[in-house]
Chain A
Amino acid sequence: MNMFNRISNKIQTNPYIMRLAKGYQATYLYIILSVIMVVIMVMVVIKNNDKQNLTKTVERTHEILDVTHSVTEKALEIETSIRGFVLLRDENMLPLFYQGTSGLRSEIETLEKLEKNDANINKTIASLHDIANDRIRNVELLVLNLKSKQISNDEVRAATEKGKELSTRVKTLANEINNYELKQLTKDKAADESNDSDLNVNIILLTMVVGIIVLLGFLILTIQNSKNKLAAEVEKSNTLFSNIFSHNPACISITRQKDGVLIRANESFLKLFDFKTSEEVIGKTSNDINIYVKPTEEKELFDQLVKENNVKNKEIEVKTRYGEIKWISSSVLILEIEGEPCILNVSIDITEQKKAEEKLLESNREMEAFTYTVSHDLRAPLRAINGYANIIIEEYEDKLDDEGAVFLNSIVGNSRKMGDLIDDLLAFSRLGRNVMPTSEINMKGLLQTVIDERIQTEDDKIFLTIKEIYPATGQQALIKQVWVNFVSNALKYSQHSPIQKIEIGSYYRDNNIVYYIKDNGVGFDMKYYNKLFGVFQRLHTKEEFEGTGIGLAIVQKIISKHNGTVWAESELGVGSTFFFSLPRLT
């Protein structure tokens, strides 16, 4: 009983087996049906035995009937032969007579043998036996007396009468036996028939049961087969999962949701936190193994998980068992394992990345300090140069000849230009640091603002076409700067054309929105394309077109900050088209 309970408990705790419990019920049914089949088979055997017995009985009855018939015949034979002998005294009749007596004797013996088991009729047979013997003795005596002629006619008559009477009694008894056996025969036949119908029912039942068993057997085989297949599939996917789990470079752990106890952790997890064996962590909470630098962060993560169902790439500061600080990026989701809600945590070690980020931040800070210094310290002497040169021009104009005045003006102009370069450089470096809020941008409105600022409505030399302008998301102030630069460039580089044609539009391509601005300006040689977006790179001289060469570098920096790209197409003397793409609104 204990053993059964143990097994039964084992089965009940195993969900896989529980799922297959239906298969077990089929097996029980199979056993029950087998028992029924055996019972029916035993019944059939018994019935069949009965039938065989009955057949034997019937056969015996038929034999008895034959014998009783023969007894009557023999009795008649004796009577006939003795009558002949009495009348004719012909000894030739005697062999027939002896044949009759010996026949009657043997028939009665046969009858006794056949009937010796039936008490009901044995008495009658005994009487028959006695009377038949009396009859035989009666005639044998008569024959002897007749042969020796020591008998009177009267005695012959009396003996004959006596013989007749005995014969009649033999016949009567034989008839009695005959009737009795006929009755028995009718009874046996009825019994045989009912036995036959029982047997038929049993055989039908047996056939049905066998059929069901075969069907069930087939069913069980099929179920077993699919069970085996399923088990093989489960085994296969278990192996696959197991391999993915244990060989994964990401740290994977499974935690029970209700108490935060770790139930599984892979090799990478152990390695990250410097544990040797999984026993050191399994069955413990993260608090027990003390891996979170700020334990509240785990709670925050779980709270977020409950709210949002899954959390992706949350950066968390952790520590190994020896206290070494590491950073991980955790993705978690809730999944049910054996009916228990658990938390699957897949984390990757981003310590190096974090260090690199910090280094980058550090160098950005240094860069910022550097540009700040540059902007101050480079501008101060420039201001002095410019300022004193201006004073000389103002105060000592009359003491300078024309050439001297030109040189001084050149000093003033160049110092101003250098100031502009420094301003642009600073603006460019500012792009890398400032984080402005991202919002949905009404691109059409923004573009219109830029155009209104740049183009005087009464300027009838400019033909501006604005096609469909789709909205986008981004840092509006920066995107505005992009439009300012593009519109200014389009106007600047087409200023020598008799009619300035500018077309602005946008279209969707894959997951991006592409904006373009096309002009009929001087264009540029595509072989210098790689210099187009460089800082302070210019494809035209300052005498041709004003500018420091920072505009497109700023544009490219802004667009790449928005995960977009900038490109251009141009033909010298025909015009340029500038494109920039931004991720499509989702």
Chain B
Amino acid sequence: MDYENVEILFAEDSMDDATLTIRALKKSGLKNKLYHVKDGAEALDFLYGRGAFEGRDTNQCPNLILLDLKMPKVTGMEVLEQVKKDAKFNSIPVVILTSSKEDPDIKRCYELKANSYIVKPVDSDNFFQTIKDLSFYWMISNQPPSH
């Protein structure tokens, strides 16, 4: 799989959610290169060029990370914590995706300096519009310093 020049790293364990999200982003004309990983462990492997991503140029950082909170192995919050702890990645905007605004982890995410969060509503229209807007916003307004 081509993981060079990735602009958006998207971690989501639900294939349905991933399919629908990717489709919405593409359909809305967001042409940036998106890479989908299925859990937090893969997301970290991607960032650090480990495991399946051995040999990836880790100097190429994505411009945005979309993180689902509830994922197997390593959760979204753990990825967030690691990303924000690491000086190499801490300037990458992280948008948290969650199934419910009741999620007690949201508060914790903000403490860990997540840049935004999106509740995944049942109604796909709303959701995809929101995610489109948000991604676009972070892509254009929060340009990370170039490496």
Residue numbers of A with Cβ under 8 A of B are 371-372, 375-376, 379-384, 386-388, 390-391, 412, 415-416, 418-420, 422-423, 426-427, 430
B121 proximal to A (CB < 8 A)? yes
Q: List 11 A-B contacts (CB under 8 A).
A: A372-B102, A375-B102, A375-B103, A379-B100, A379-B122, A383-B120, A386-B124, A416-B122, A416-B123, A422-B122, A426-B102
Q: What does the 1/0 interface line of B109-133 toward A look like (CB < 8 Å)? A: 0000000000011111101000000
For B16, what are the chain A residues with a Cβ–Cβ distance below 8 Å? 380-381, 383-384, 387-388
Asked whether B123 lies within 8 Å of A384 as measured between CB atoms, the reply is no
B33 proximal to A (CB < 8 A)? no
Given the complex of chains A and B, what is the CA–CA distance between A288 and B38 in angstroms? 62
Least CB separation from A429: chain B residue = B102
Asked whether A375 lies within 8 Å of B99 as measured between CB atoms, the reply is yes
Asked whether B102 lies within 8 Å of A387 as measured between CB atoms, the reply is no
Give, as a whole number of angstroms, the nearest-CB distance from B77 to chain A: 14
Asked whether A426 lies within 8 Å of B122 as measured between CB atoms, the reply is no
Size band of the B side of the interface? Answer: 10 to 19
Point out the residue from A372, A383, A388, A415 that lies within 8 Å of B103, measured CB to CB. Answer: A372
Asked whether A430 lies within 8 Å of B124 as measured between CB atoms, the reply is no
Q: Which of B14-72 contact A (CB under 8 A)?
A: 14, 16-17, 20, 23, 70
Q: Which of B62-108 contact A (CB under 8 A)?
A: 70, 99-100, 102-104
For A416, what are the chain B residues with a Cβ–Cβ distance below 8 Å? 122-123
Asked whether A376 lies within 8 Å of B100 as measured between CB atoms, the reply is yes
For B100, what are the chain A residues with a Cβ–Cβ distance below 8 Å? 372, 375-376, 379, 423, 426
Asked whether B122 lies within 8 Å of A386 as measured between CB atoms, the reply is yes
Given the complex of chains A and B, what is the CA–CA distance between A430 and B120 in angstroms? 19
Point out the residue from B70, B102, B125 that lies within 8 Å of A430, measured CB to CB. Answer: B102
Asked whether A418 lies within 8 Å of B122 as measured between CB atoms, the reply is yes
Give, as a whole number of angstroms, the nearest-CB distance from B39 to chain A: 15
Asked whether B122 lies within 8 Å of A391 as measured between CB atoms, the reply is no
Asked whether A419 lies within 8 Å of B102 as measured between CB atoms, the reply is no
Main secondary structure, interface of B, reads loop
Given the complex of chains A and B, what is the CA–CA distance between A419 and B122 in angstroms? 6
Residue numbers of B with Cβ under 8 A of A are 14, 16-17, 20, 23, 70, 99-100, 102-104, 120-125, 127
Give, as a whole number of angstroms, the nearest-CB distance from A128 to chain B: 147
Asked whether A419 lies within 8 Å of B121 as measured between CB atoms, the reply is yes
- Known contacts: A387-B16, A426-B100. The answer to whether A376 contacts B124 by CB under 8 A is no
Given the complex of chains A and B, what is the CA–CA distance between A422 and B99 in angstroms? 11
For B20, what are the chain A residues with a Cβ–Cβ distance below 8 Å? 383-384, 387-388, 391
Point out the residue from A386, A388, A391 that lies within 8 Å of B123, measured CB to CB. Answer: A386
For B14, what are the chain A residues with a Cβ–Cβ distance below 8 Å? 380, 384
- Known contacts: A383-B16, A384-B16. The answer to whether A419 contacts B123 by CB under 8 A is yes
Asked whether B99 lies within 8 Å of A380 as measured between CB atoms, the reply is yes
The 10 lowest CB-CB distance pairs between A and B, nearest first, are: A419-B122, A384-B16, A387-B20, A387-B124, A375-B100, A376-B99, A426-B102, A382-B122, A416-B123, A379-B99
- Known contacts: A383-B16, A384-B16, A391-B23. The answer to whether A415 contacts B102 by CB under 8 A is no
For A423, what are the chain B residues with a Cβ–Cβ distance below 8 Å? 100
For A412, what are the chain B residues with a Cβ–Cβ distance below 8 Å? 123
Point out the residue from B23, B102, B104, B124 that lies within 8 Å of A383, measured CB to CB. Answer: B124
Give, as a whole number of angstroms, the nearest-CB distance from A556 to chain B: 20
For B70, what are the chain A residues with a Cβ–Cβ distance below 8 Å? 376
For B17, what are the chain A residues with a Cβ–Cβ distance below 8 Å? 380, 383-384
Give, as a whole number of angstroms, the nearest-CB distance from B8 to chain A: 19
Give, as a whole number of angstroms, the nearest-CB distance from B145 to chain A: 35
Given the complex of chains A and B, what is the CA–CA distance between A371 and B104 in angstroms? 12
Asked whether A372 lies within 8 Å of B125 as measured between CB atoms, the reply is no
For A384, what are the chain B residues with a Cβ–Cβ distance below 8 Å? 14, 16-17, 20
Given the complex of chains A and B, what is the CA–CA distance between A388 and B17 in angstroms? 10
For B120, what are the chain A residues with a Cβ–Cβ distance below 8 Å? 379, 383
Q: A383-B121, A387-B124 are in contact. List 8 more A-B contacts (CB 8 A).
A: A372-B100, A372-B103, A379-B99, A382-B122, A383-B16, A387-B16, A388-B20, A391-B20
Given the complex of chains A and B, what is the CA–CA distance between A489 and B85 in angstroms? 49
Give, as a whole number of angstroms, the nearest-CB distance from B79 to chain A: 18
Give, as a whole number of angstroms, the nearest-CB distance from B97 to chain A: 11
Asked whether A383 lies within 8 Å of B127 as measured between CB atoms, the reply is yes
Given the complex of chains A and B, what is the CA–CA distance between A391 and B22 in angstroms? 13
For A390, what are the chain B residues with a Cβ–Cβ distance below 8 Å? 124-125
Give, as a whole number of angstroms, the nearest-CB distance from A382 to chain B: 5
Point out which of B20, B102, B122, B123 has the most chain A C-beta atoms below 10 A from its C-beta: B122
Given the complex of chains A and B, what is the CA–CA distance between A381 and B14 in angstroms? 10
Give, as a whole number of angstroms, the nearest-CB distance from A373 to chain B: 9
Given the complex of chains A and B, what is the CA–CA distance between A427 and B102 in angstroms? 8
For A379, what are the chain B residues with a Cβ–Cβ distance below 8 Å? 99-100, 120, 122
For B125, what are the chain A residues with a Cβ–Cβ distance below 8 Å? 390
Least CB separation from B24: chain A residue = A387
Given the complex of chains A and B, what is the CA–CA distance between A422 and B122 in angstroms? 10
For B102, what are the chain A residues with a Cβ–Cβ distance below 8 Å? 371-372, 375, 426-427, 430
Asked whether B124 lies within 8 Å of A372 as measured between CB atoms, the reply is no
Give, as a whole number of angstroms, the nearest-CB distance from A192 to chain B: 121
Point out which of B14, B70, B100, B103 has the most chain A C-beta atoms below 10 A from its C-beta: B100
Given the complex of chains A and B, what is the CA–CA distance between A381 and B124 in angstroms? 12
For A381, what are the chain B residues with a Cβ–Cβ distance below 8 Å? 16
Least CB separation from A417: chain B residue = B122
Given the complex of chains A and B, what is the CA–CA distance between A416 and B124 in angstroms? 9
For A380, what are the chain B residues with a Cβ–Cβ distance below 8 Å? 14, 16-17, 99
Give, as a whole number of angstroms, the nearest-CB distance from B49 to chain A: 31
Given the complex of chains A and B, what is the CA–CA distance between A155 and B14 in angstroms? 193
Give, as a whole number of angstroms, the nearest-CB distance from A435 to chain B: 14
Give, as a whole number of angstroms, the nearest-CB distance from B44 to chain A: 22
For B23, what are the chain A residues with a Cβ–Cβ distance below 8 Å? 391
For A388, what are the chain B residues with a Cβ–Cβ distance below 8 Å? 16, 20
Given the complex of chains A and B, what is the CA–CA distance between A423 and B122 in angstroms? 10
Least CB separation from A427: chain B residue = B102
Given the complex of chains A and B, what is the CA–CA distance between A379 and B121 in angstroms? 8
For A387, what are the chain B residues with a Cβ–Cβ distance below 8 Å? 16, 20, 124
Asked whether B122 lies within 8 Å of A415 as measured between CB atoms, the reply is yes
Point out which of B16, B17, B23, B99 has the most chain A C-beta atoms below 10 A from its C-beta: B99
For A391, what are the chain B residues with a Cβ–Cβ distance below 8 Å? 20, 23
Given the complex of chains A and B, what is the CA–CA distance between A36 and B125 in angstroms? 119
